[in-house]
């Protein structure tokens, strides 16, 4: 048995570190060892419990109601508010869209109006539920354009979405205007606070300026907030909170139309581990408001120092409203090379591709744990810029750009994808598995000149080739 666990630890060495504050995407680190231990032990204690039936596992229902209650206070929710714990931000978003669709059964071709900066989970919801995403460009401030949103709303609209904040740029959309617009048309307004919902309330308590985005804003009908982000809980939980039980009703599902138990679900999962819920509950109980306030003070000190100290060659795309910083490079260096250079220096910063005419950017999700090494982060950013300048910009051969531009992703065969992936440096040999080049900048530069549709198709082909079962021999 120990042998298997030792092998697990060995496997994990290849992964990004989840502690230490040097991984600035995917993970959120409080920097407090007790928080990790308590979360981990709670997950382990509840790994076998099943949230399928709260009457059989009443402790899970109690923990869920506690957690939603804590969130309701953060979200300025009225007494009528109700909520559910989901498996993550994507599930919360999917359910917000599904609920809006199913609350308007008379609309035959439902649509939702979203800003171009909305999280990709809404495009997934559109894909799953047949709700057209009407995408509206953002203004020069990277925030949703209210007039353009109003112009895109029509009889088919079942949902207007705002972000608090957007993932890519870290700014809060004009929620009061979006919500008023939705309310005036009798449409739902969802605020995607997946990444900001647990930290912005504490920013406000610290006296920082926070644009309005909670249920205190009239017309906001639901809010998603991820506990596995800035509640610093183990992975696997998010909350979807509705202003009233009536708004939540279409989310619930029951089926008695089979010979087994009557299936009764509040969310998309049926059998669900009690582990993530117990982990989130335990961490939130342990930290409480005072703990989160202190963590918010740390993370915002880190954000302020990063924004103030960005080295020459880089600049902040837009002053962040929350804990996410987007950086852009001047013409002396390129973002993808800076990301590679940061990796060499022990940091993970996330490249974001060019979009709608805007250049590539570097994304930083700042954690409380990052505060203790902010000076090192800034020094390493400066030396990464210097190294990227010395290396020169990665450029893609104009002939390759023209070739890529002429490709129709829908018309490509599997052989074409094999060739394209090999040419882009992702996988030369499909059986080689995850053979990523040490430096990703050339790959990213190539992907960056591809259209979003081609990039999606190529990366799906890549993922497909990575995902192959390992069979025992013989």
Ligand X SMILES: *Cc1c(COP(=O)(O)O)cnc(C)c1O
Binding residues (CB under 6 A) for ligand X: these are 88-90, 93, 119, 121, 163, 167, 192, 194-195, 226, 238
Q: Which residue is nearest to ligand X (CB)?
A: 89
Residue placing its CB nearer to ligand X in the complex, 82 or 97 = 97
Residue placing its CB nearer to ligand X in the complex, 168 or 421 = 168
Residue placing its CB nearer to ligand X in the complex, 229 or 465 = 229
- CA-based diameter of the chain, in Å? 69
Residue placing its CB nearer to ligand X in the complex, 194 or 369 = 194
Q: What is the closest distance, in whole angstroms, from the C-beta atom of residue 107 to ligand X in the complex?
A: 24
Q: What is the closest distance, in whole angstroms, from the C-beta atom of residue 139 to ligand X in the complex?
A: 18
Q: What is the closest distance, in whole angstroms, from the C-beta atom of residue 322 to ligand X in the complex?
A: 10
Residue placing its CB nearer to ligand X in the complex, 95 or 333 = 95
Supply 337's token pair.
Answer: 């090379």
Q: What is the closest distance, in whole angstroms, from the C-beta atom of residue 379 to ligand X in the complex?
A: 28
Is residue 367 within 8 Å of 30, Cβ to Cβ? yes
Closest CA to 231 of 204, 202, 199: 199
Q: What is the closest distance, in whole angstroms, from the C-beta atom of residue 400 to ligand X in the complex?
A: 32
Residue placing its CB nearer to ligand X in the complex, 25 or 401 = 25
Tell me the C-alpha distance between 173 and 163, whole Å.
6
Residue placing its CB nearer to ligand X in the complex, 203 or 333 = 203
């Amino acid at each position: 048995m120990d042998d298997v666990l030792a092998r697990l630890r060995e496997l994990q060495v290849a992964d990004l570190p989840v502690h230490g504050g040097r991984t600035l995407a995917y993970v959120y680190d409080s920097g407090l060892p007790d928080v990790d231990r308590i979360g981990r032990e709670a997950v382990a204690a509840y790994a076998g419990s099943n949230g399928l039936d709260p009457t059989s596992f009443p402790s899970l229902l109690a923990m869920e109601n506690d957690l939603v209650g804590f969130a309701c206070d953060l979200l300025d929710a009225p007494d009528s508010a109700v909520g559910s714990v989901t498996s993550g931000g994507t599930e919360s978003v999917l359910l917000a869209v599904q609920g809006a669709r199913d609350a308007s059964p008379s609309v035959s071709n439902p649509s939702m109006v979203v800003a171009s900066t909305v999280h990709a989970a809404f495009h997934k919801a559109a894909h799953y539920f047949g709700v057209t995403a009407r995408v509206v460009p953002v203004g020069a401030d990277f925030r949703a354009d209210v007039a353009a949103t109003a112009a895109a709303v029509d009889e088919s609209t079942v949902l207007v979405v705002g972000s608090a904040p957007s993932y890519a740029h870290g700014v809060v959309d004009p929620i009061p205007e979006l919500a008023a617009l939705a309310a005036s048309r009798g449409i739902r307004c969802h605020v995607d606070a997946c990444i900001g919902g647990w930290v912005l309330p504490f920013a406000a308590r610290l006296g920082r300026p926070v644009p309005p985005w909670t249920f205190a804003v009239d017309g906001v009908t639901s809010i998603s907030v991820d506990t596995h982000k800035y509640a610093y809980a183990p992975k696997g939980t998010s909350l979807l909170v509705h202003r009233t039980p009536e708004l939540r009703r279409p989310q619930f599902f029951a089926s008695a139309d089979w010979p087994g138990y009557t299936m009764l679900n509040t969310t998309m999962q049926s059998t669900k581990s009690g582990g993530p819920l117990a982990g989130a509950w335990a961490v939130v109980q342990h930290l409480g408001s005072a703990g989160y306030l202190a963590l918010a003070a740390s993370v915002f000190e880190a954000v302020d120092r990063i924004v103030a100290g960005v080295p020459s060659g880089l600049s902040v795309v837009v002053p962040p409203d929350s804990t996410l910083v987007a950086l852009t490079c001047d013409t002396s260096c390129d973002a993808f090379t800076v990301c590679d250079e940061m990796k060499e220096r022990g940091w993970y910063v996330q490249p974001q591709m060019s979009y709608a005419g805007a250049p590539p950017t570097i994304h930083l999700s700042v954690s409380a744990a990052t505060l203790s090494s902010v000076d090192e982060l800034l020094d390493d950013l400066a030396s990464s810029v210097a190294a990227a300048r010395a290396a020169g910009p990665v450029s893609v051969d104009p002939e390759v750009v023209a070739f890529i531009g002429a490709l129709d992703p829908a018309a490509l065969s599997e052989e074409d994808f094999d060739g394209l992936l090999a040419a882009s440096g992702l996988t030369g040999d499909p059986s080689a598995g995850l053979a990523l080049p040490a430096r990703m900048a050339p790959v990213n530069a190539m992907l960056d000149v591809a259209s979003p549709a081609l990039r999606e198709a190529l990366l799906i082909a890549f993922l497909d080739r990575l995902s192959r079962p390992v069979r025992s021999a013989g």
